[in-house]
Amino acid sequence: MTRQFNTVGIVGLGTMGAGIAEVLARTGVTVVAVDVDETALDRGRGHLTHSTDRAVAGGKLSSADRDATLARISYATSLDALAGADLVIEAVPERIELKAEVFAELDRICGPDTVFASNTSSLSITEIGVHTGRPGKVVGMHFFNPTPVLKLVEVIRTVVTEPDVVTDVVAFVEGLGKTPVVIGDRAGFIANALLFGYLNHAVRMYESRYATREDLDAAMRYGCGYPMGPLALLDLIGLDTAYEILDTMYHQSRNRLHAPAPLLKQMITAGLLGRKSGRGFYTYD
Ligand code: CAA
């Protein structure tokens, strides 16, 4: 019989953590959301209110269901609040030392059966797992942005993840109305490994003035049916996040496809991070 995850902890309430919290709470899961301080929690609450209001406005959620969704989420600034969680999903910034610290602390706080998942885009789940005393109960659960809209969740198993844990997590993902794919632990997993070479190539074309940003994006939208062009998508993902993903993949594979285009670094240094900073390849209100 598959195991139910009734109470789920989310660590890190940025764009991804808040999106994951929303998806879980909308399907009836009790969520305990943890971030470092009240300011971070307020920002997370803001994401949740904005996104659920949008779902109400779009007719996808009734006001009563929105209220019930938000009421299923509690907030805390200490990982101690996760002592009773069946599953904890970590979505903190992509630094291995930070993730290692979070999981080592969770390992002391949570019961021995609690399953630990990381939403990392490109760091090694195996490396994260060895910072706990339960590497067999550690998996990757990689969601996509915007999380309430996109159906895919990559479930990453390491060489030591227990098969039952993978089965339970896959069943849980299906219960969320999402589509799981199961994959081994390699930088970029499936989607990012295929996507980011393409995105990087688009930056190089733009950088060399081969095409305008509008024409690059129009070509992929209207010629290939993609919902967004590559430069608009980079703005959505965040240029800093994209750079980190490319850099990690490049260091692992040495595939030149993933060597970050120099323009990306220059834009990041200048504070042009995409939608979240108001300006990237395009400008946002
Ligand atoms: N949060 C919640 N809902 C959102 C949303 C958000 N940020 N953005 C859009 N939506 C919802 C809208 O409310 C709308 O819902 P309804 O149909 O109920 O009205 C629906 O999505 C469609 O939105 P729009 O009509 O405003 O615009 P659109 O049709 O152009 O879709 C999009 C917007 C969903 C972002 C679409 O353009 C898209 O899917 N783009 C590609 C995104 C993508 O590839 N993401 C993957 C990034 S890689 C990643 O995430 C992995 C990683 O590790 C970095």
Q: What is the pLDDT of residues 225-271, one digit of tens each?
A: 999 999 999 999 999 999 999 999 999 889 999 999 999 999 999 99
Tell whether 175 and 207 lie within a shared domain: no
Would you state the structure tokens that stand for residue 13, as one six-digit string?
Answer: 């309430």
Residue 146: CB within 6 Å of ligand 1?
yes
- Tell whether ipTM is more than 0.90: yes
Q: Do 148 and 62 share a structural domain?
A: yes
Whether residues 231 and 120 fall in one domain: no
Beta carbons of 256 and 262 less than 8 angstroms apart: no
| Ligand 1 binding pocket includes 194 (Cβ within 6 Å) | no
Query: How many domains would you assign to the chain?
Result: 2
In contact, 8 and 37? CB cutoff 8 Å: no
Contact predicate 172/5, CB 8 Å: yes
285 — pLDDT class (breaks 50, 70, 90)? confident
CATH of the domain at 199: 1.10.1040.10
Place of tokens 């060489």: 159
**pLDDT computed for residue 61 by the predictor:** 94
Task: Give the pLDDT band of residue 1 (cuts 50, 70, 90).
Answer: confident
Nearest CA to ligand 1 atom 34: 149
Q: How far is the CA of 144 from the centre of ligand 1 (A)?
A: 10
Nearest CA to ligand 1 atom 18: 58
What pLDDT sits at residue 136?
98
261 Cβ below 6 A of ligand 1: no
Q: Whose CA is nearest to atom 10 of ligand 1?
A: 149
- Per the structure, the complete domain to which residue 26 belongs is given by 7-183
115 and 209 part of one domain: no
If asked whether residues 202 and 150 sit together in one domain, one would say: no
State whether residue 116 is helix, strand or coil.
strand
pLDDT of 187-211, one tens digit each?
A: 899 999 999 999 999 999 999 999 9
Rounded distance from Cα 71 to ligand 1 centre (Å): 24
Asked whether residue 2 is domain-assigned, the answer is no
Do 14 and 73 belong to one domain?
Answer: yes
Average pLDDT, the chain: 96
Residue 228 near ligand 1, beta carbon < 6 Å: yes
Q: Give residue 279's pLDDT band: very low, low, confident or very high (50, 70, 90).
A: very high
240 or 122, higher pLDDT: 240
Query: How much of the chain, in percent, has pLDDT values that exceed 90?
Result: 96
Same domain, 23 and 137: yes
122 pLDDT tier (thresholds 50, 70, 90): confident
pTM of the entire predicted model:
0.95
57 — pLDDT class (breaks 50, 70, 90): very high
Kindly state whether residues 170 and 206 are assigned to the same domain. no
pLDDT of 184 strictly over 90: yes
Exposure string of 178-196, with b = 16+ CB inside 10 Å and e = fewer, is: bebeebebebbbebbbebb
